[in-house]
A and B are shown apart, each in its own frame.
Chain A
Amino acid sequence: MSDLTKMSAAQLAKAIAGKEASAVEVAQAHLDRIDAVDERVHAFLHVDREGALAAAAAVDAGEVTGPLAGVPVAVKDVIATKGVPTTAASKILEGWRPPYDATIVERLRAAGTVMLGKTNMDEFAMGSSTEYSAYGATNNPWDLGRIPGGSGGGSAAAIAAYEAPLAIGTDTGGSIRQPGAVTGTVGAKPTYGGTSRYGLIAFSSSLDTPGPCARNVEDAALLHAAIAGHDWRDSTSIPQPVPDVVGAARLGATGDLSGVKLGVVKEFAGDGSEPGVLSAFHESLEALVKLGAEIVEVSCPHFQYALPAYYLIAPSEASSNLARFDGVRYGLRVGDDGNRSLEEVMSLTREAGFGPEVKRRIILGTYALSSGYYDAYYGQAQKVRTLITRDFEAAFERVDVLVSPTTPFVAFPFGSRTSDPYQMYLADLFTIPTNLYGGPAISVPCGLSEGLPVGFQVMAPTLADDRMYRVAAALESSVGTLTPPAL
């Protein structure tokens, strides 16, 4: 492995700006690393060698500048990239080349980054392990027999395996943070509406949030700053300035948390987590106290209903959003023999194109929205969402941020949670409340359990994304970053 692939995004940007390394050299080093390891990791669904080298050459020629000029980035395959295959890891979009770029892809380019390719995920971002990808799972660089988390397991694994220093994920119920936790990397979900959804293939529109994946907190903040901000093409985009997340990460890295109050959610403290996860979490709390933070126990009594509410709201929105895959405008069409009707062709196309978890969620969402069940399921889940938001608001009157383990268990072996879909859903137990509330949250590595990474989650109030970066960077300054065994 060349040193270029081990460098942070901040270091690479500096080296390229100072002409110590060329952007082409940096891109080539990462493409070589992908060639060397991705057969085993399978983080990428598509590698855009020509595009990456051309973008890097433009940086070297001085045609492209920006704060991350020449820094490679991998993009989750649920995000539209003009002319570059975009499948959302589904057979229904196999071979689709979007005719436009997502806003965040435009912004990545404006920041000077070099896109290496598209990363693997659970189909349509529905899952916690990448086992629901239609193109085969991604393997965790820490142990190739275990899951890399999901849905954004490809993005997290790519950076953990040094195939890219930065990656973009999307977080609907934990799809950035849980993969970050189980691969020993940093993953941040910005405030909902803080990053544009234009060009993101919709799963659950009131929850989907694109965000950064990186190997350290400062790099995550740099990527966050590059993609965030108002977008007129997304009407849920927040028309307010982006908090200074980079400044907050650098402040946190000084290791001083004097006067910062951390709320430990009582309801997340006990049952459900593996003992090794809990002990790493408690050691992290002690480390944060040594940096000056104060620990306050808070109660969020409705958090226990977040998972059930989420699994009504998200599938309901998905059942509507995924109606667009009808075999007419893009993607697969099956059974069009000249005799069958549109409806028959549509049903055969969707049956052939969607995987089992997507079908389950479409059926579940259709059920929850049906007349007769709407009030008891979808309507009630929306009320519970209000109560969860009130729990957050009450907690943030007493503390600056809330903290918890990111996910109850370390990376699990393949196949151990696919037979009972609800067991898979439990991976998102601690990440989902934030999505329902809409605030920002970050997962930062905090230690090992059974030799596998554990993530520490920091949840902040809406639009206070800077706060979570400060606390995460402070923890990182104390416990350090994690390095997986050599592949």
Chain B
Amino acid sequence: MAAITREEVAHLARLSRLAVTEEELDRFAGQLDVILQSVARVGEVAADDIPPTSHSVPLTNVYRDDVPVPCLTQEEALSGAPDAFEGRFRVPRILDEED
């Protein structure tokens, strides 16, 4: 049985904001199925009582003194923007016309 279907891949691509093509959907579904069946082997390990590791460094709540340091200027921060307007990032419309 396939671990992942073409429809699921299409849904995940939408969630990931990837406007994938039909051809990519066919290809990715097959490839991701192979990958998922391989990585699903983690399920063979009995680990119910094992705590998860999210991070290898045992540091929690890292604080530092609140010392002001120079930061990017507005011009520098906008230097890579695809589109800027009056010192701000300009974006396409976020709301529909009827909203």
Contact = CB atoms under 8 A, between A and B. Distances in A.
Interface residues of B toward A: which range? Answer: 35 or more
Interface string A298-323: 00001001011101100000010001
A456 to B, nearest CB: 24
B80 A330 contact: yes
B32 A331 contact: no
Contacts of B38: 308, 311, 422
B7 to A, nearest CB: 13
A192 B57 contact: yes
Contact of B12 (A363, A377, A422): A363
B77 A99 contact: yes
Interface in B1-47: 4, 8-9, 12-21, 24, 27-28, 31-32, 34-36, 38-45, 47
A333 interface: yes
A11 interface: no
A329 B81 contact: yes
Contacts of A97: 79-80
A193 B57 contact: yes
A384 B47 contact: yes
A328 B91 contact: yes
B52 interface: yes
Interface stretch (A27-35, A52-60, A69-77, A345-353): A345-353
B39 A385 contact: no
Interface string A369-409: 01000001101111111110100000000000000000000
A97 to B, nearest CB: 7
A359 B24 contact: yes
Contacts of A462: 56
B96 interface: yes
Nearest to A352: B19
Contacts of B15: 366
Contact of A99 (B43, B55, B72): B72
A479 interface: no
Contacts of A363: 9, 12-13, 16, 18, 28, 32
Contacts of A193: 56-57, 59
A340 B42 contact: no
Contacts of A389: 53, 56
A331 B20 CA distance: 19
A342 interface: yes
22 contacts: A98-B80, A99-B76, A99-B77, A232-B64, A323-B17, A329-B81, A332-B82, A345-B92, A351-B18, A356-B28, A366-B12, A367-B32, A379-B52, A380-B43, A380-B47, A383-B45, A384-B47, A387-B50, A420-B31, A422-B34, A422-B35, A422-B38
Interface of B: 4, 8-9, 12-21, 24, 27-28, 31-32, 34-36, 38-45, 47, 50-57, 59, 62, 64, 72, 76-77, 79-83, 89, 91-94, 96
